Amino acid sequence: MTRNLKKLIFGALAFLALVGTAAAEEAEAAPHSHGPLDSGNTAWMIVAAVLVLLMTLPGLALFYGGLVRSKNVLSILMQCFVIAAVMSILWVVVGYSLAFTSGSDLIGGLDKMMLKGVGVDSIADPENHTIPESVFVVFQMTFIIITPALIVGAFAERMKFSAVLIFTTLWAIGSYLPIWHMAWGGGLFSQFPDTLDFAGGTVVHINAGIAGLVVCIMLGKRKGYPTTGMAPHNVAYTVIGASLLWVGWFGFNAGSQLAADGTAGYAMLVTQVATAAAVLAWVGIEWCVSGKPTAVGAATGAVAGLVAITPASGYTTVCGALVIGIAAGLICYVFATSIKRALGYDDSLDVFGVHGIGGIVGAILTGVFVREGIDGNVLSQIKAVGVTIVWSGTVSVIAFLIAKALTGGGRVSEDEEDSGLDVTYHGEGAYGSDR
């Protein structure tokens, strides 16, 4: 680790300690709002928050970990684990405030920095919420945890650990928080008539997918790609991880209603339908093209369906979910295989092909397949998608260039890549010995 990087880390920790001390008295004296708290909704949202955290730890970690080579599996688990810690602190210090509070069309303010005003019984939005603000904070914290963790799959096996942490932190501040505010905080997207994003098609998946594409191109291909065999080292991990993602996604989608009601139940229903349809679509086309349906294909198809139904889950019909799921399975398969090979970029674990493309497909079709009584607007959906692509792409370039400058290039050396990131960056192997 370079001397400048060490200074940066210690400076950041000192700043957090200073801010925390200054805000402690105000936080302890936070006013209590005795609004219409609902114990049933609160209980459900506590469970939903746990389910979404399960998606990253251990769901995504295992899903990605199984897809890389054995010499790099621990690096993936470590990146997901530490990103969860970094984003939790970032969300508390400034993230929640910049995302949720009023400000400009692009970003919120600092009124709730260090969760100022968040008390035991306070409610974030008394007119619309019936759960404690603390529960809402934790639920949304799990979203900022998984979003940058999704990105690491695009540049797996070749980026320095320090560069990963610097990039994801800068990107979360510069892209995740503004897009959250634009979509859900009364920002720019509210100016597009009838824009719909129930649980994060733009905020999470397109945002992360574009970042993954940008960084994997700027960082360069893995050594030996695509001629050297880089098959998944443990498909069982991947299927288990995908299964945990599938289960946890009910918290992600149904939980975004912030209540235990009919809309949450219907979101759960259409999530299951779309995911099942995407699995069958991916496996079906894979079977036709390659002659064999694979477990990796089924797992990846499930994630594609989950991604695509996310923005539509609170608004679409069962028939709409079927179409969205099938479309996601087919289109994401093409991008993750044929188009990626044709264009030659090394998106290691298909972050762009699944999350970026799946998010775009789902976001646009959300405006088409809406239930009676809900207004959708395809043009507005396209505008929101376009803003997200441009914003995330721009921030990703800047954040990566900063991370690259601070870490001596951002990329591991050829010798380190040959040895694997587990031993060279973490000093231990996932299985106790090399395979």
Q: What is the per-residue pLDDT across 283-298, written as a single tens digit (0 to 9) for each?
A: 999 999 999 999 999 9
Residue 22, token pair as written in the block: 């200054």
Cα distance between residue 289 and residue 350, in whole Å: 19
167 to 121, 394, 434: CA distances (angstroms):
36, 13, 29
Are the C-beta atoms of 197 and 384 separated by less than 8 Å? Answer: yes
Helix axes 318-334, 262-290, angle to 10 degrees: 40
**What average pLDDT does the segment 374-385 reach?**
97
| pLDDT at residue 28 is higher than 70 | no
| pLDDT over 70 at 11, yes or no | no
Q: What pLDDT score was predicted for residue 36?
A: 85
Q: What pLDDT score was predicted for residue 107? A: 98
The pLDDT of residue 16 = 53
Residue 242 has a pLDDT of: 98
When pLDDT is averaged across residues 224-243 and rounded to a whole number, the result is: 96
Mean pLDDT of 30-45: 75
What's the pLDDT band for 358 if we cut at 50, 70, 90?
Answer: very high
What residue type is assigned to position 124 of the chain?
Answer: A
Q: Where are the domains of the chain?
A: 44-406
Average pLDDT, the chain: 93
Q: Cβ(366)–Cβ(379) under 8 Å?
A: no
Q: List beta partners, residue 411.
A: 159
Indicate the pLDDT class of residue 432, thresholds 50, 70 and 90. confident
| 8-state DSSP, 410 | S
Band the pLDDT of 30: cuts 50, 70, 90: very low
Amino acid in the structure at residue 176:
Y
Non-local (6+) Cβ contacts of 177 within 8 A are 95, 98, 99, 107, 108, 144
Residue 96: which pLDDT band, with cuts at 50, 70 and 90? very high
- Burial label for 16, CB within 10 Å (0-12, 13-18, 19+), is middle
Which residue matches tokens 């089924």?
Answer: 298
- Residue 10, pLDDT > 80, answer no
pLDDT score, position 9: 59
User: What's the burial of 3, exposed, middle or buried (CB within 10 Å: 0-12/13-18/19+)?
Assistant: exposed
- Torsion, CA 361, CA 364, CA 367, CA 370, rounded to 10: 0
pLDDT value of position 24: 44
Chain centroid to CA 259: 22
Dihedral sign computed on CA atoms, order 31, 36, 38, 41: negative
Q: What are phi and psi of 411, to 5 degrees?
A: -100, 145
Predicted confidence at residue 6, as pLDDT, reads 61
Q: CATH number of 44-406: 1.10.3430.10, 1.20.1560.10, 3.40.50.10540, 2.30.30.700?
A: 1.10.3430.10
Per-residue burial over 361-399, b if 16 or more Cβ lie within 10 Å, else e, is bbbbbbbebbbeeeebbeebbebbbebbbebbeebbeeb
